[in-house]
Structure 1
């Protein structure tokens, strides 16, 4: 049964990861981080992802104007933009990014 919904599951996880990145940036990461730290945080909260998938989500968020990325000495630096704050807090809804729930724990 689950095999019939693999694409839906993958899309749902990707949308959840995208929101998580924005909420982490909007909350405890205070607007910026790097790809290595983000990968480590995903592992800590049991939201493991491959580097390729994380890169794909970051590219999507950047194309939506939610974040900006810069490569500094081989390390991708990620900065939250105001539009990303709007998405993270539910002021704006974007297809492909999960809508935040009122009890979102990443904002604290």
Structure 2
């Protein structure tokens, strides 16, 4: 989330004049992040849409739009459409799971 905060277009160019200004900016950022920012890890829905369960309908509609576009202009598509299936669980910072017997593979 730090990178998103640091590189957001509204990131201040000058230091905050007070703690109150800093808090106001962070509050504005949090509203933007939760209600406007379409997160790539959430398949381009906002965290608020995901939290409220509205993402299922949005993703289903996107899938239909992509399928219709592909049927209408197949020459524009070189492969499959984007995966718009709803994920039951998402993680902010997923940890890569080591495969079973990873110790054996490392030792070999």
Band of TM-score, shorter chain: under 0.3
TM-score by length of 1: 0.25
TM-score for both structures, normalised by structure 2: 0.25
Q: Which has the higher contact order (CA 8 A, sep 6+)?
A: 1
Decide which structure has greater strand share.
1
